[in-house]
Structure 1
Amino acid sequence: MTAALRRQLKWCTMGIEMNPLDNLKNFIRPFVHMYNTRIMNSYLTYELEERYSSVLDQQHIPGKSVIDLAMKAYLDENPGSTGIPAPFKSAAMAQIKLFVFAGHDTTSTATVFTFHLLSKHPEVLQKVREEHDAVLGPVSNVPSLLASKPQLLNQLTYTLAAIKEALRIYPTVSTIRSGQRDLHLVSPNGHSFPTESCMIWGDHYSNHHNPHVWNRPEDYLPERWLCTEEDSLYPPKHAWRPFERGPRNCIGQELALTEIKLILALTIREFDVADAYAEFDTARGNTGNMKVNGQRAYMVRIGGGGHPANGYPCRVRCLE
């Protein structure tokens, strides 16, 4: 299923492709989607039916996975059910695929960008490692320590600030809303723009780099997340939106931040990660300016989310 999902992402389109040759994919995209969807649905159907049977078993101990929670909610609303109806199965599979995609692609990309920024700012990297020394102790003890005391991750305040600042500079996703007849966007000079029949796309990257909103927006400064409201670096209210805001914000944001903290806790003192774009460009004969806004690891859209250019070629060195 994982391989099918990854293949599916590469064939996703939003109609904004700059390369006209990308449109040639349109002829075979439906067939690729059909093939990948059949693989994913076959796997999920088996899992749903297995969970349904186990939930009916009186000896079953309910879990807290997405499938278990969905099945429990359905059975609570439909006691005495003798099977999984097609509408519920279809809705459940769609939501599970969304959970798997959102929890896999965006979090891994955010982790890569966090490692990248830490490698470019050794003074920040040093502070993160010092915090891990103070809170978590010897590297060899971290897995067992966090297994018994996972709440220690909450004490990694500077690490969290470093992650949040990475998400400000490189927000991995944006958001889309449907326009409404009574909703108009008003520009600073008073012009009103109707939104009916339009797709409203919030550009988080531009907002996060707007000098009228953020002080020193191009600088990687985890300290802005630890300062007081009187400080000029203090984040403006509602300006940080990598998970969006409001009733439709990302329900997995705390999980994502916890996962990245956990990954750093297990690896940041054992490995150095540095980009290898110079080697990559030399090997492929890339010449000229390969940077965007001064960054070689600029963001590109692949499969519905932002990713580092060229898949982020890098070197990983094991520390002594």
Structure 2
Amino acid sequence: MSGLDSLPSLLLCRGFWAAAFGILVITYIVYTIVNNLFLSPLSRFPGPKLWAISRIPSQVSVLRGHSHLDITKLHEVYGPVVRIGPDELVFNAPGAFRDIYGFRPGQRTFLKDRNHYIPPANGVDHLFCAVDSEVHARQRKLLSYAFADRALKDQESLITNYVDLLIEKLREKTVKARNERKPDVDIKSWMNYTTFDITGELMFSESFHCLEESQLHPWVELIFKSIKALAIIGAVNQFPVISGILHKIIPRSVIQKGVDHFNLGCEKVDRRLDNGSDKPDFISAMLKNSLSGKEGQYGEDEKIMSRAELHSNAFILIIAGSETSATVLSGCIYYLCRHPTIMDRLVNEIRGTFTADSDINFSKTPTLSYLAAVIEETLRMYPPVVTGLARVPPAGGETVDGDFVPEGTTVSCHHYASYRSLSNFVLPNEFIPERWLGTDPRFDSDKKDALQPFSLGPQNCLGKSLAYAEIRLILCKLLFHFDIELCPESVNWIDQEVYFLWDKPALMVNLTDRSVL
């Protein structure tokens, strides 16, 4: 038989296998749909059908920056537990927060889901992304020295100096604004200048000089640009079968932003190690028992870190140590400006308590009850950790808020969605600090233990006390010295997208210096 004679048979053979492959693909898709909708152990949980079939809808929501809004709406429709993926559930009840993130005798620990916790460029876990509990515990023990009450007391004068520099710079700004008749100030940026300078000093014994130069350090600007890259990479990681292909589609410039941010952190760490410092800072805490000369894994009881672990932790601590406080401060100022009555009550409390700037300190600011209520309400309305911290149940599965969750399921409580839920808070979308004072019976039914902005349990935020101290001090000094009014262009400032962090635009305000009134 000639080659031409055998061609029809060859084409027929190829056509057969192509058809067979097509049938196989269709069969697999149909099976996956049927399994996810009807046979999966999660099929009994409510949620949108398209989200149950595929991870695509949830990750499109993330990439659009609307996941906080979408999850909130899903809870409104489907209740306190919603299936948002073939193997993912979200909860919003206080009991779910305790079960997933807390620690109770007799309950096994929920572990971090590696697909949601991306190691930095060197592939070495830092405190936030460490999936191995022993690695996390070892790093946390070392860092805890830097966040202890004694350390906070020792840091007070340093932090106060930077807050005083903020007031000085804003005062110069208002004088210049009066002369130029341009009174607008982007107060969000000034909050970032302050918290990044403080964090740089606490981390490396070296400021970023943002306040002195009245602009963000190039590295700080790079951080914000790299956050969206992390969101994109995180979304790609939710499709492990094709993640290799998807990673190649991500523009190299996007990946490079994250690498550049990491490399700058490494340079800061190495310079701090080479120069040394007598000041107690985060690096000295991590070096409490010297620096390990080897790389690799260490036991939980080995109080030591490698240089690579220092690099990784510098990467995350600069963000976590500064952006959370700056976010809360910006949100608080916005909501106070939008609610003049609340602003007046807080200003009266601050100016009625302190007769001089020198009276404002770490020991006195916690005594202001209305200030505390305003901060809690800001954390509820505008939480710095917006979405959820993904966890997986231990082998064999575990119970979450009364529902058994099989192993292999990703679970989380989304902060924004939980705090804006009518099932947890009365008038959930209204800024009302009085709900935290216990004086208004309208809020007696509020489930206040649903508010967990710094998480809870053995992996809660180490910097919680430092963040509160910074926020209280900055707000008190700012409102003691200035009257603040929102500019018209920032009335809708709160309408923001989310990529791990809030994508905050300029927050334009008018400042009036009380010293010249």
Q: Do Structure 1 and Structure 2 share a fold, with TM-score over 0.5?
A: yes
User: Equivalent residue for 1:317?
Assistant: 511
Moved more, 220-229 or 167-176: 220-229
Q: Which residue type is aligned with residue 213 of structure 1?
A: N
User: Equivalent residue for 2:473?
Assistant: 262
| SS at structure 1 position matched to 2:337 | helix
Indicate if the aligned counterparts of 2:486 and 2:509 stay in contact, CA closer than 8 A. Answer: yes
For residues 178-206 of structure 1, the C-alpha deviation after alignment (integer angstroms, 9 at most, x for no partner) is 31343356698x7x65350x433321111
Alignment of structure 1 residues 54-65 onto 2, 5 Å: 61=278, 63-65=279-281
| SS at structure 2 position matched to 1:297 | coil
1:247 is the counterpart of 2:442? no
1:9 is the counterpart of 2:227? yes
Q: Size of the alignment, in residue pairs?
A: 273
> In structure 2, do the counterparts of structure 1 residues 278 and 130 end up closer, same or farther at CA, with 3 Å as the change threshold?
closer
| SS at structure 2 position matched to 1:127 | helix
User: Equivalent residue for 2:392?
Assistant: 179
User: Equivalent residue for 2:111?
Assistant: none
1: distance between equivalents of 2:501 and 2:478? 25
Structure 2 gap ranges (5+): 1-218, 237-247, 297-305
Q: Which residue type is aligned with residue 157 of structure 1?
A: S
Alignment of structure 1 residues 165-314 onto 2, 5 Å: 165-173=377-385, 174-180=387-393, 181-183=395-397, 194-196=406-408, 198-227=409-438, 232-233=443-444, 235-269=446-480, 270-277=482-489, 297-302=494-499, 304-308=500-504, 311-314=505-508
For residues 60-113 of structure 1, the C-alpha deviation after alignment (integer angstroms, 9 at most, x for no partner) is x5x4311111111x33xxxxx7x7545511112212222211121121111111
User: Equivalent residue for 2:266?
Assistant: 41
For residues 106-152 of structure 1, the C-alpha deviation after alignment (integer angstroms, 9 at most, x for no partner) is 21111111011101111111111111112112xxx31x333xx5311
- RMSD (Å) for aligned C-alpha atoms: 3.1
1: distance between equivalents of 2:490 and 2:319? 31
Q: CA deviation at 1:28?
A: 3.1
| SS at structure 1 position matched to 2:287 | helix
| SS at structure 2 position matched to 1:215 | coil
- Of structures 1 and 2, the larger Rg is shown by 2
Q: CA deviation at 1:157?
A: 1.7
For residues 254-273 of structure 1, the C-alpha deviation after alignment (integer angstroms, 9 at most, x for no partner) is 21122111111111240314
> In structure 2, do the counterparts of structure 1 residues 84 and 136 end up closer, same or farther at CA, with 3 Å as the change threshold?
farther
State the 4+ residue runs in structure 1 displaced beyond 6 angstroms: 185-188, 228-231
For residues 206-263 of structure 1, the C-alpha deviation after alignment (integer angstroms, 9 at most, x for no partner) is 1111111112212211112111697734642521111112221111112112211111
| SS at structure 2 position matched to 1:256 | helix
Indicate if the aligned counterparts of 1:119 and 1:125 stay in contact, CA closer than 8 A. Answer: yes
Indicate if the aligned counterparts of 1:228 and 1:234 stay in contact, CA closer than 8 A. Answer: no
Q: Which residue type is aligned with residue 301 of structure 1?
A: V
Specify which structure has the higher proportion of helix. 2
| SS at structure 2 position matched to 1:243 | coil
> In structure 2, do the counterparts of structure 1 residues 256 and 275 end up closer, same or farther at CA, with 3 Å as the change threshold?
farther
Alignment of structure 1 residues 138-177 onto 2, 5 Å: 141-142=356-357, 144-146=358-360, 149-173=361-385, 174-177=387-390
1:119 is the counterpart of 2:330? no
2: distance between equivalents of 1:229 and 1:248? 34
> In structure 2, do the counterparts of structure 1 residues 113 and 275 end up closer, same or farther at CA, with 3 Å as the change threshold?
farther
Indicate if the aligned counterparts of 2:486 and 2:510 stay in contact, CA closer than 8 A. Answer: yes
| SS at structure 1 position matched to 2:424 | coil
Q: CA deviation at 1:166?
A: 0.8
User: Equivalent residue for 1:100?
Assistant: 318
Q: CA deviation at 1:278?
A: 6.7
> In structure 2, do the counterparts of structure 1 residues 229 and 179 end up closer, same or farther at CA, with 3 Å as the change threshold?
farther
Q: Which residue type is aligned with residue 397 of structure 2?
A: L
1: distance between equivalents of 2:332 and 2:311? 32
| SS at structure 2 position matched to 1:182 | coil
User: Equivalent residue for 2:354?
Assistant: 136
> In structure 2, do the counterparts of structure 1 residues 68 and 186 end up closer, same or farther at CA, with 3 Å as the change threshold?
closer
Q: CA deviation at 1:168?
A: 0.4
Moved more, 156-165 or 176-185: 176-185
Q: CA deviation at 1:44?
A: 1.3
| SS at structure 2 position matched to 1:219 | coil
User: Which structure would you say has the larger RCO, counting Cα contacts within 8 Å and 6 or more residues apart?
Assistant: 2
Q: Which residue type is aligned with residue 265 of structure 2?
A: M
TM-score, normalised relative to structure 2 = 0.47
Indicate if the aligned counterparts of 2:325 and 2:471 stay in contact, CA closer than 8 A. Answer: yes
> In structure 2, do the counterparts of structure 1 residues 86 and 8 end up closer, same or farther at CA, with 3 Å as the change threshold?
farther
> In structure 2, do the counterparts of structure 1 residues 235 and 199 end up closer, same or farther at CA, with 3 Å as the change threshold?
same
2: distance between equivalents of 1:25 and 1:15? 11
| SS at structure 1 position matched to 2:449 | coil
| SS at structure 2 position matched to 1:123 | helix
Moved more, 106-115 or 174-183: 174-183
| SS at structure 2 position matched to 1:111 | helix
- Indicate the percent of aligned positions where both proteins have the same amino acid: 19
Indicate if the aligned counterparts of 1:165 and 1:221 stay in contact, CA closer than 8 A. Answer: yes
TM-score, normalised relative to structure 1 = 0.74
2: distance between equivalents of 1:155 and 1:109? 23
Q: Which residue type is aligned with residue 359 of structure 2?
A: L
1: distance between equivalents of 2:473 and 2:401? 42
1: distance between equivalents of 2:295 and 2:225? 26
